[in-house]
Amino acid sequence: MTEPVTILSVTPLAHGWGRLDRYEVDHIRRDGTRQTVQREVYDHGSAAAVLLFAPAARTLILTRQFRLPAQVNGDPAWLIEAPAGLLDGELPEIAARREAMEETGYAPETMIFLFDAYMSPGSVTEKCACFLGRYTPGQQAASGGGLAEEGEDIEVFELGLDEALAMVKAGSIVDGKTILMLQALALRLAAGGAV
């Protein structure tokens, strides 16, 4: 559908770390009728993520960090994820490299763009640029662990690709961007693509 959406009003609800606004919009439905709806939209910026992979060893660098929304939803608060963070005005590849260093201490040697993805397009504006980054085991340039001034307390660990895929199947890895990047990597490897 390419028909325009008309924003009738925007009501600020909360403006802190991000912006939560209520929108009233008018749009044309598939059957040609017009519809007016209200939606709450949370905007805290877009993000970039990188899955660090060592092809020869078939290992990955992942993180475990505190995520309050998971706890609020009844799940464990410590999620296993690929390094990621907000763009903060940077190009996605630059932001992904910065986040890899801050969170893991590994600087990606090369990076391949995989895809852009909306994680929750029903209510959140964030679009995440996802990359595959090559690293060399044992070549950690810094300690990682995140930025203390941002309250980050990030565990960094290395594991095999097969183990990570099994963790997705078992429900131990539930972060959407990480699952998508792991699947993209597995598909690339199965097709003989560059990593």
Which parts of the chain sit beneath pLDDT 50? Answer: none
pLDDT at 153: 81
CB-CB contact of 23 with 41 (8 Å): yes
Global pTM reads: 0.91
Cα 4 to Cα 9, 24, 34, 166, distances in angstroms: 15, 14, 11, 44
The pLDDT mean for the chain works out to 93
pLDDT at 1: 58
